[in-house]
């Protein structure tokens, strides 16, 4: 409505000017009234992200759909740093600090949103949600906030699950696990799925070198893998003592998991360990959904089943545990505080987060999306290589619930990650007790938090 009034005023001004002068072309000056508007009243906004070449084509296709539905809005797609979200954020921060009018930006996590919102770089979305009459919690799984203001709109969702060799399960007489199984159950499954000796041995499971495999509960059922909601370190959590010991016992007592020392030395690939049949179970994430059907790149002859991530047992529940809800990752769209076209930016954000586009190849963070269409695209033509029902139940079964965003922004994550890595290595590769290792980790993490995290 405001734009229409503005155009009418400009048109009247042009008629008056034409009457008093013999000049023409006044309409060409409409650009000067607003640098991002064309003579036809079209607004140009910029969308920033870190797409690689394949993703860029998919994004462009989605933006064309938006422009077709909104002919008064043109979107300029700006790839800041192709395929590198860390460097992209650095470049984004430079643009913002230099006064660049940032309309919409895709950032890799809710923490990235909160960190920039807290320093005033982003615009709150409350008034736009209110005008549309929607409640963010009804729309998206994760809604980053600072105080009572919303700043992020979830674009994609990244889930975690366990892949299982269905042939090995059938051979051992084991059912596909369902929601509610625990890490104690996982250990028992791994024992029963272990078979053979030497180079022909099939381990029950494979744990890779990432932090995910050092304390899976901290990474899967807690909002933040470093700090509690009160800002203190979670390295004191009972899950650390439990999972560190579980890992060591599975290697040294059960011999159902390949030793951590061997994994480090051989620089093993987690996909190869599973699809070669060297491991019967693998904790991983939704980015691996296309892989079981990709038999050319990962040759194998077994069907892959899926199970929800195991829950911690009653004797090792996290301090901030929310009853079996899972962490969900994913990128977020945010609006720059410097945007001159916030209504148009919000419209693009809502379209991109809710559109069921054929170009989408990642799960949507929108709760009302239909994931089955995307699952069909991800599974592809080799559907017989999947236990599809178990995949659906692991991601969207009736018992599966997801955590909202953590209110904590951890800026020293790389330092804290090193503490976790070093602590895990101390325990796994030496005879130090779990109590001594955990105390060292807590002391180191507390020192880092006190020195580097804002109060």
Q: Can you give the residue ranges of every domain in the chain?
A: 43-157+330-369, 160-326+398-452
Contact 245, 437 (CB under 8 A): no
Contact 237, 218 (CB under 8 A): yes
pLDDT of residue 233: 96
Considering only CA atoms, give the Rg of the chain.
26
Contact 296, 157 (CB under 8 A): no
What's the CATH architecture for 43-157+330-369? 3-Layer(aba) Sandwich (3.40)
Cα gap 350→286, rounded to integer Å: 23
pLDDT of residue 364: 93
Q: In what side-by-side order are the strands of the sheet with 304-307?
A: 281-285, 160-165, 304-307
The whole model's pTM is what?
Answer: 0.82
CA distances from 180 to 97, 164, 231, 314, 320 (A): 47, 16, 29, 12, 18
pLDDT of residue 40: 58
Angle of the 434-452 helix axis to the 413-429 helix axis, nearest 10: 170
DSSP states of 13-45? HHHHHHHHS----GGGGHHHHSTTB-TT--EEE
In this chain, the answer to whether the domains covering 43-157+330-369 and 160-326+398-452 adopt an identical fold is yes
Contact 386, 293 (CB under 8 A): yes
Strand 43-49 versus strand 104-107 pairing type = parallel
Q: Give the CB-side neighbour count of residue 376, counting CA atoms within 13 A.
A: 4
Contact 62, 359 (CB under 8 A): yes
51 burial level (CB within 10 Å; 0-12, 13-18, 19+): buried
Cα gap 118→434, rounded to integer Å: 37
List the chain residues with pLDDT less than 70: 1-40, 454-455
The 3-state DSSP class for residue 164 equals strand
Residues in the chain: 455
pLDDT of residue 406: 85
Torsion, Cα of 287, 209, 225, 255 (10° steps): 100
3-state secondary structure 300-366: CCCCEEEECCCECCHHHCCCCCCCCCECCECCEEEEECCCCCHHHHHHHHHHHHHCCCCCCCCCECE
Please state the separation of Cα 454 from the chain's center in Å: 24
Cα gap 176→241, rounded to integer Å: 28
Tokens of 423: 């602590």
Provide the CATH topology of domain 160-326+398-452: D-Maltodextrin-Binding Protein; domain 2 (3.40.190)
pLDDT of residue 454: 56
């Amino acid at each position: 409505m405001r734009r229409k009034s503005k155009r009418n005023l400009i048109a009247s001004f042009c008629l008056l000017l034409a009457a008093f002068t013999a000049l023409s072309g006044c309409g060409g000056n409409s650009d000067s009234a607003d640098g991002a508007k064309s003579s036809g009243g079209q607004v140009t906004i910029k969308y920033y992200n870190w797409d690689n070449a394949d993703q860029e084509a998919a994004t462009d296709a989605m933006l064309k759909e938006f422009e077709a539905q909104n002919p008064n809005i043109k979107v300029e797609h700006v790839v800041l740093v192709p395929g590198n979200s860390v460097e992209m954020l650095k470049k984004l921060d430079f643009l913002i600090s230099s006064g660049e009018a940032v309309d919409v930006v895709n950032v890799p996590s809710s923490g990235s949103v909160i960190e920039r919102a807290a320093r005033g770089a982003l615009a709150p979305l409350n008034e736009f949600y209110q005008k549309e009459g929607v409640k963010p919690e009804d729309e998206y799984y994760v809604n980053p906030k600072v105080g009572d203001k919303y700043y992020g709109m979830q674009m994609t969702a990244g889930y975690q699950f366990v892949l299982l060799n269905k042939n090995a399960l059938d051979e051992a007489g084991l059912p596909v696990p369902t929601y509610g199984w625990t890490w104690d159950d996982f250990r028992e499954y791994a024992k029963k799925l272990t078979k053979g000796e030497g180079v022909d041995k099939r381990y029950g499971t494979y744990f890779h070198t990432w932090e995910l495999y050092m304390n899976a509960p901290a990474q899967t059922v807690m909002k933040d893998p470093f700090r509690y909601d009160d800002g203190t370190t979670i390295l004191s959590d009972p899950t650390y003592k439990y999972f560190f010991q579980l890992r060591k016992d599975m290697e040294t007592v059960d011999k159902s998991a390949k030793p951590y020392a061997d994994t480090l030395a051989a620089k093993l690939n987690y996909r190869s360990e599973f699809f070669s049949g060297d491991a019967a179970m693998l904790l991983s994430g939704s980015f691996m959904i296309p892989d079981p059907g990709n038999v050319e790149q990962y040759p194998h002859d077994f069907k892959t089943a899926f199970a929800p991530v195991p829950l911690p047992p009653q004797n090792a529940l996290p301090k901030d545990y929310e009853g079996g809800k899972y962490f969900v990752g994913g990128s977020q769209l945010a609006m720059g505080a410097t945007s001159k076209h916030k209504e148009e930016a919000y419209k693009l954000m809502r379209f991109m987060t809710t559109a069921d586009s054929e170009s989408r190849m990642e799960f949507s963070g929108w709760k009302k999306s239909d994931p089955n269409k995307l699952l069909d695209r991800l599974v592809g033509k080799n559907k017989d290589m999947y236990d599809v029902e178990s995949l659906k139940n692991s991601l969207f079964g009736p018992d599966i619930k997801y955590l909202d965003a953590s209110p904590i922004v951890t800026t020293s994550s790389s330092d804290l990650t090193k503490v976790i890595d070093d602590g895990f290595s101390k325990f796994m590769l030496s005879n130090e007790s779990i109590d001594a290792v955990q105390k060292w980790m807590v002391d180191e993490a507390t020192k880092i938090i006190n020195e580097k995290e804002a109060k």
